[in-house]
Amino acid sequence: MFVRRIAVIGTGYVGLTTGACLASLGHHVVCADVDPDKVARLTRGEVGILEPRLAELVAEGVAAGRLSFVLGARQAVEPDAEIVFLCVPTPMGVGGVADLGSIQAVLSEITDVLAPDSVLVNKSTVPVGTAERTRELLGRDDVAVVSNPEFLREGSAVEDFLKPDRIVVGSASQDAAERVAALYSRLGAPTVLTDAASAELVKYSANCFLAMKLSYVNAMAELCERLGADIADVTEGMGYDRRIGQSFLTPGPGWGGSCLPKDTRAMLQIADSADFEFRLLRAAIDTNERQRQRIVDKVRLAVTGRRSGTLAHTRLGLLGLTFKANTGDLRDSPALAVAAMLRQDGAELVAYDPAVPADTVHPGLEPISVAADPELAAKDVDALVVLTEWPQFRTLDWAKLAGLTRQPVVVDTRNLLDPDVLARAGFRSTGLGRR
Ligand code: NAD
């Protein structure tokens, strides 16, 4: 059964993907945002984010008359939206607590125009108890509140939405939970129907587990260096164990992005408010912070040959700025965190990223000169530092790049490149946890 009007509030990674995918499944969707420029661009068919198939689905939905964009949540909801998805930001607030200001703003905008028997679905990542508090704030017995956390990954958002590992739906109202689950029935995914608090906790629990897995691998990589073992072989051997799996087993410059840092902090606060000291998670966060310093130390050693001192009078070429490959997202990117520390240490920075044009404005980019191609980023540098795992870096003309540098040194913080290829091109290279 198709829904005649679904409202999706927020047209970022989660909202736009949700809107376009639900329209592709046959539902009628109206997407709303507070940003007039964004709404104008989407109305013209311009999708501002780098996500495979998203622009295509948006165009198809609009052409079929099943997808449209409006300014403001109220416009999308009135007069008769049957289901309303909240996909607004929940950034890190004071002390790490999730900031629910955008959710509250939407609620105050739409409470009096929500149709009787409609369902309010929260897709944003929110602390346990938010569904309950939303019900109280709404004060409407005829509107049910459902938690339906989203698990898509940037860079494969559409694929993840349409082929999910699972759907999680939680509510105090069984009927409302089933109406929301029915939206996804064509996807054939395992569905967990539960209470709202459990659904809210699934999202944090999954993200914190992934963060711990990455911190564990980064710690193992350090141990490998000390013991003369190789992290690639160790993780391959671990990953064949089906209880562990091969994914999220590559060391890197520390996890980041718009979700893991804020969700791990929020989880600590949630645990704290329940009088539970989540030491395991705290250790994962500490390990992550330490990882950035470890990268800076590695760069210093590779460039100057010394374990202490500064990077003054050195010039570094950074390859990759986004928080991971196949996205243009710079929010909380570990590459920017490492860049800030390198700059603090005195290095001059030039960078190339396939998804970051030279005129990009973003907090944290100021001390970096963004180059239009990798050759400009290699010119006269004392080392090239790979910070994002863009696959195209593997096939760069490394011999040519070596000739442009002041010192042919590569620090590969993603273990992306083949050290033999680099050696043949004339580079000295170092990675993480390599023999
Ligand atoms: P985003 O910043 O990309 O998009 C949020 C959108 O909401 C923006 O376009 C913003 O203008 C709009 N907005 C803000 N306030 C609004 C209001 N009052 N009315 C209408 N629109 C408003 O955020 P995102 O990455 O899509 O994340 C949204 C939520 O989903 C967050 O809670 C996040 O933790 C969660 N989440 C994100 C991902 C991800 O990979 N990005 C994955 C799963 C869950």
Q: What is the CATH number of the domain that holds 342?
A: 3.40.50.720
CA distance 138 to 77: 15
Q: How far is 140 from 355, CA to CA, in rounded Å?
A: 45
- 207 located within any domain: no
Q: Are residues 246 and 141 in the same domain?
A: no
Of 194, 209, 238, which closes a domain?
194
d(C-alpha 278, C-alpha 300), whole Å: 34
Structure tokens at 222: 């350090």
Q: How far apart are CA 367 and CA 249, in angstroms?
A: 31
Which among 87, 255, 327 is the best mutation to test ligand 1's pocket, defined by most ligand atoms within 8 Å of the CB? 87
Query: 186 Cβ partners below 8 Å, 6+ apart?
Result: 25
Whether 125 is in a domain gets the answer yes
Same domain, residue pair 237 and 320: yes
If you average pLDDT over residues 16-26, what whole number do you get?
Answer: 98
Distances (CA, A) of 4 to 7, 66, 82, 251, 271: 10, 9, 8, 46, 40
Q: What is the 116 CA–ligand 1 centroid distance (Å)?
A: 26
- Say yes or no: 259 and 144 in one domain: no
Sign of CA dihedral 370, 374, 378, 379: negative
Distance 90 CA to ligand 1 centre (A): 7
- In a domain, residue 26? The reply is yes
Nearest Cα residue to atom 27 of ligand 1: 89
Task: Confirm or deny that 334 is annotated as ligand binding.
Answer: no
Residues 238 and 281 reside in one and the same domain = yes
Domain boundary among 174, 194, 214: 194
Annotated binding-site residue? 123: no
Q: Is 259 one of the catalytic residues?
A: yes
Q: Are residues 80 and 148 in the same domain?
A: yes
**Structural domain contains residue 1:** no
pLDDT digit string, tens, across residues 417-432: 999 999 999 999 999 9
Is residue 241 domain-shared with residue 173, that is, in the same domain?
A: no
- For 319-376, the pLDDT digits (tens) are 999 999 999 999 999 999 999 999 999 999 999 999 999 989 999 899 999 999 999 9
| Contact residues for 263 (Cβ-Cβ < 8 A; gap 6+) | 125, 203, 204, 207, 208, 211
| Residue 201 included in any domain | no
Q: Is 379 exposed, middle or buried (CB count within 10 Å of its CB: 0-12, 13-18, 19+)? A: middle
Is 256 annotated to bind a ligand? Reply is yes
- Number of structural domains (the chain) is 2
Domain that holds residue 139: 6-194
- Regarding whether 172 and 70 lie in a shared domain, the answer is yes
Neighbours of 276 (CB within 10 A): 10
Catalytic residue among 21, 31, 87, 259: 259
19 and 71 part of one domain? yes
Residue 291 lies in a domain: yes
Q: Which amino acid is at 121?
A: V
At residue 435, does pLDDT exceed 90?
no
Contacts of residue 194, Cβ cutoff 8 Å, sequence gap at least 6: 168, 169, 170, 202
Q: Are 132 and 10 contained in the same domain?
A: yes
Ligand 1 atom closest to the Cα of residue 16 is 26
Same domain, 27 and 102: yes
Query: Residue type at 51?
Result: E
Tell me, in angstroms, the distance from the centre of ligand 1 to residue 88's CA: 4
237 and 382 both lie in a single domain: yes
Spatial contact of 317 and 305, defined as CB atoms under 8 Å apart: no
Ligand 1 binding pocket mutation candidate from 75, 86, 88 (most atoms within 8 A of CB): 88
What is the per-residue pLDDT across 37-63, written as a single tens digit (0 to 9) for each? 999 999 999 999 999 999 999 999 999
Which residue, 194, 220, 244, sits at the end of a domain?
194
Ligand 1 pocket, residues with Cβ under 6 angstroms: 9-15, 32-35, 38, 73, 87-90, 102, 105-106, 124-125, 150, 152, 154, 258-259
153 is known to lie in a ligand binding site? yes
For residue 278, say whether it is annotated as part of any ligand binding site: no
Chain-centroid distance of CA 24 in Å reads 24
CA 249 to the chain's CA centroid: 17
Shared-domain flag, residues 29 and 132: yes
pLDDT in tens, 385-408: 999 999 999 999 999 999 999 999
Q: Do the domain assignments include residue 208?
A: no
* One-letter identity of residue 107: L
Percent with pLDDT over 90 in the chain = 98
Instruction: Flag whether 203 is in a domain.
Output: no
